[in-house]
Chains A and B, each alone.
Chain A
Amino acid sequence: MTTTSERLPEYSDEEERSVVRNSLGHPVGVTEHRRWTPVRIAVWIAISLVGALGWTMLAIVRGERVNTVWFVVAAVATYAIAYRFYALYIQRRIMRPDDRRATPAERVNNGRDFDPTDRRVLYGHHFAAIAGAGPLVGPILAAQMGYLPGTLWIIFGVVVAGGVQDMLVLFYSMRRGGRSLGQMARDEMGRFGGTVAIVVVFVMLMIVLAVLALVCVNALAESPWGVFSVGMTIPIALLMGLYLRFVRPGKVMEISIIGFVALIAAIVGGRYVAESSWGEFLHLTPTTLVVCMVIYGFFAAVLPVWLLLTPRDYLSTFMKVGTIVILAIGILVARPIAQMPDFTEFAFNTAGPVFAGALFPFLFITIACGALSGMHAMVSSGTTPKMVQKESQVRMIGYGGMLMESFVAIMALAAAVSLNQGVYFSMNMSAASIQSTAGESYSADASPEENAAAALPNLEVNRDGEEVEAVWETERDGETVTFTGAEALEAVAEDVGEPSIVSRTGGAPTLAVGMANILHQVFGGTGMMSFWYHFAIMFEALFILSAVDAVTRVARFQLGDAIGNLVPKFRDPSWRVGGWLTTAVVVASWGSLLLMGVTDPNGGIRMLFPLFGIANQLIAACALTIVTVMVVKKGYLKWVWIPLVPLVWDTATTFTASFQKIFSSDVALGYWALHHATKEKIAAGGLDATALANANATVRNTAIQGTLSILFIVLVASLMVTAIMVVVKAVRTGRTGEEFSSEDEPVESNFYAPETLLVATPLEKKVEAEYAIVGDPKLLAGGHH
């Protein structure tokens, strides 16, 4: 706590006019009208000019060799402008924060979930909860379309869609006691709407988990080093949990640092374990890893949280902050050049080997987290809104938190597009895709590297017709060597310490090679590449496992509640058997989808990732629909376009993508088209045993994927129809405005905390000092620097 003299600060008349006071005369807010001084005008002109320069280099000059530093420059300048102007505009029009109103955290202040938390701490907390592997993986896959589509969508998507969704859901949930999305849907749209929202979210969480787990499995399969270092996170987390429970409770920083050092040791030691005679035991097939993941997911969800989940969260949070800092330094220092063109052919056709589908609509579902992510609505309702100190802080936490995630996505994209095209595509083509692309050059006796190198020239990537070739520059015995073709792919694998890098789909290995490629130039040289590769794999796996743990647990309670409506005993969280049963159902749901993914003959990522993107973006559609209803009911019809613009765009992209996945006659695109075509192939006969097994798997998988696509779209469409009916009825009967809103009754605030992002303004500091003297000691004791 800061020490304050007991003398109240003195305000000038102008300052006093800016201080908002409650009925007790205590300060509760500051409404500073910051004037446009020449200096501030000059600063914003400078930011605009820098941003314009960045965009000019990216989008207009578009030379063969674009430096990825421009990605960062354009992004940061655009974020600053969007935060200062658009987010503030939204705040003034449809949020209208009122610091005279107490937030749920101030009102309830129970020291548990309702906990007024310092804005900077809450920002970190919120960011750690929304960000994970999502913003790292999507941009990598979307890099097959070139660097420009991804950059444009990540930056403008967050400004107009993602940031708006996160901020509005957070604000409206805060005005409703921190209620969850499902509860808000029920309040606004009745039982039917609420039930649909809960079912939608549950089903989609399962597909999201399956795909995240698939990314993790693909990164670890056939990689003893990766299996060892990621596997070690489990005993490390367990030991951390035991230490905090029995040895030194509460020493979180201490054990987190010990855990982090142990983690680094596990990465370094992984090489020696992998090279030793133990290595072959860790050489696991994808199917074995699925079994491990499922068993792990089950125990993580039924064991007490302090044993595994909480310590793992500590490690994840450390890694999240560390990764951003390291990547930003790497990109700014190494300044890698983009190897991808602005647009590739795959932006316009469905021949892309990573995923099928043209820029519209597939860019917008492939890059979900980082631009717009429905999953964030779960954190922005329910968790974070119960911790906000003052209403005016929501812009910084909701919009600002999402801007940071977008920044992570931009850096991931920069890492992917600065990889050699041959390396990128060899890593992201499934074995089946390499075989079909190589055509006659394919040989069953050749190594995967040779087949990949043979397939590359047949890939029509560059619009200027330049052939794709694998090229890798590295050091051997202290001399710079440039390898080409299959040798280049082998050299990459050797540099990063993996048996092979061909067909390592899912995005995580590509990001890891991209990061190693950048970071070794800054830290440690070629010799450190394998460390950086496994460092990247480690944190991606850690993020994914954290999500698997947490979501399985959340879904298990949701399911228990739902079954509880029929069998009340399931509602009791202390009933072990019920917990095990619901956990088993949840784990079996995503586990079976995961198994389907890893055994898919057409490549699990290629087939399932669109479903993941559609699911995530449809949750966003649900969240934005609920927000729109709340905006209308509150009487802000004039500004309903603010949530409606992202909602319409999101609906257009997800529904088009779903229709293409369901109805397209192109077998690369349509699940059912591939389903029927494969059935005909089987009927025609002449398939050998392997081909027949693959064909049968394809028929089964496409049926499941196609059915899920239909289910998603029907559920969300029915929610939207309900919403439209509610909106039309409200507008027609004139039942809009303050008194028809489902917001909680205002309660007078008796709390003050600054609004500004990092450093409080002089006036804010004065008011803070005054509040420290006159304020409520209970609130002061809670969250102070």
Chain B
Amino acid sequence: MTQRSEPRPWTATATAAAAAAVAAAVRGGRSLRWWFRGVLGASAYERYVARHRVEHPDHDPLPEREWWRSRQDEATPKGCC
């Protein structure tokens, strides 16, 4: 056990708090981006690739451009009141 515990200078505390706040904001921003991408369907290709690797490890997934094209042609609209 140490006898002396030097008080942390306030600048260090403030820096740590600021860093934590920034980290939280970055995490929040990332989550928001993830959520929006999911709702809009922007992450669909990544999900397809991840799945394809598991299901058909023997051949490559469709390139991004072709995959989006094949998907766009069959998309169904949604909408309500």
Contact = CB atoms under 8 A, between A and B. Distances in A.
Contact of A306 (B33, B48, B53, B75): B75
A685 interface: no
B50 A379 contact: no
B35 A253 contact: no
A135 B81 CA distance: 8
Contacts of A120: 35, 38
Given A252-B37, A778-B54, A378 B72 contact: no
Interface string A350-392: 0000000000000000001100010110110001000000000
A112 B51 CA distance: 12
A369 B35 contact: no
A582 to B, nearest CB: 15
A547 B81 contact: yes
A118 interface: yes
Contacts of A782: 47, 50-51
Cβ-closest 5 pairs across A and B: A550-B79, A134-B81, A121-B38, A252-B42, A306-B72
A546 interface: yes
Interface string A1-34: 1000000000000000000000000000000000
B79 A129 contact: yes
Interface stretch (A95-103, A310-318, A340-348): A310-318
A133 B40 contact: no
A553 interface: yes
6 contacts: A130-B81, A249-B69, A252-B40, A253-B33, A373-B80, A553-B77
B81 A369 contact: yes
A379 B81 contact: no
Interface in B38-81: 38-42, 44-45, 47-48, 50-51, 53-55, 64-65, 67-69, 72-81
A327 B64 CA distance: 38
B47 A313 contact: no
Of B33, B40, B44, B77, the most chain A CB neighbours within 10 A belong to B77
A211 to B, nearest CB: 10
Contact of B80 (A124, A251, A256, A379): A379
Nearest to A546: B79
A781 B78 contact: no
Given A111-B48, A305-B72, A781-B50, A124 B77 contact: no
Given A252-B41, A252-B42, A551-B79, 18 more contacts: A121-B35, A121-B38, A129-B80, A133-B81, A250-B45, A250-B64, A250-B67, A253-B40, A304-B73, A310-B72, A310-B75, A310-B77, A321-B36, A368-B81, A547-B80, A550-B79, A550-B80, A785-B34
B42 A253 contact: yes
B21 to A, nearest CB: 19
A376 B37 contact: no
Interface residues of A, number: 60
A39 B76 CA distance: 47
B51 A550 contact: no
Given A121-B38, A134-B80, A112 B74 contact: yes
Nearest to B46: A250
A406 interface: no
B68 A549 contact: no
Interface in A592-645: 616
A208 B47 CA distance: 37
Contacts of B74: 112
Contacts of B67: 250
A317 B39 contact: yes
B48 A121 contact: no
Given A249-B64, A783-B47, A131 B80 contact: yes
Nearest to B77: A550
A133 B79 CA distance: 11
Interface string A101-144: 00000000001110001101100110011111111000000000
A309 B73 CA distance: 12
Contacts of B36: 253, 321
Of B36, B37, B39, B42, the most chain A CB neighbours within 10 A belong to B39
Contact of A253 (B37, B44, B54): B37
Nearest to B48: A111
B81 A549 contact: no
Interface string A774-785: 000110011101
Contacts of A783: 47
A244 interface: yes
A110 to B, nearest CB: 10
Contacts of B54: 777-778, 781
Contacts of A373: 80-81
Q: Is chain A's interface secondary structure helix, strand, loop, or mixed overall?
A: helix
A554 B80 CA distance: 11
A700 interface: no
A322 B55 CA distance: 38
Of B40, B68, B80, the most chain A CB neighbours within 10 A belong to B80
Given A208-B81, A245-B69, A376-B80, A317 B40 contact: yes
Interface string B6-34: 00000000000000000000000000011
Contacts of A253: 33, 36-37, 40, 42
A105 B39 CA distance: 17
A256 B40 contact: yes
Contact of B39 (A113, A128, A551): A128
A212 interface: yes
Interface in A671-718: none
Given A249-B64, A250-B45, A118 B79 contact: no
A309 B74 CA distance: 12
B38 A124 contact: yes
B77 to A, nearest CB: 4
Nearest to B66: A249
B34 A249 contact: no
A133 B54 CA distance: 42
A284 B36 CA distance: 37
B32 to A, nearest CB: 10
A117 B75 contact: no
B75 A314 contact: no
A113 B73 CA distance: 14
Nearest to B78: A129
A611 B41 CA distance: 36
A113 B47 CA distance: 14
A156 to B, nearest CB: 20
A316 to B, nearest CB: 8
A551 B79 CA distance: 7
Contacts of A1: 50
Contacts of B47: 111, 781-783
A304 B69 CA distance: 12
Contact of A383 (B38, B64, B75, B78): B78
A777 B36 CA distance: 24
A672 B36 CA distance: 50
A129 B72 CA distance: 18
A129 B79 CA distance: 5
A125 B80 CA distance: 12
Nearest to A377: B80
Contacts of B50: 1, 781-782
A133 to B, nearest CB: 7
Contacts of B64: 249-250
Nearest to A310: B75
Contacts of A125: 38-39
A131 B80 CA distance: 7
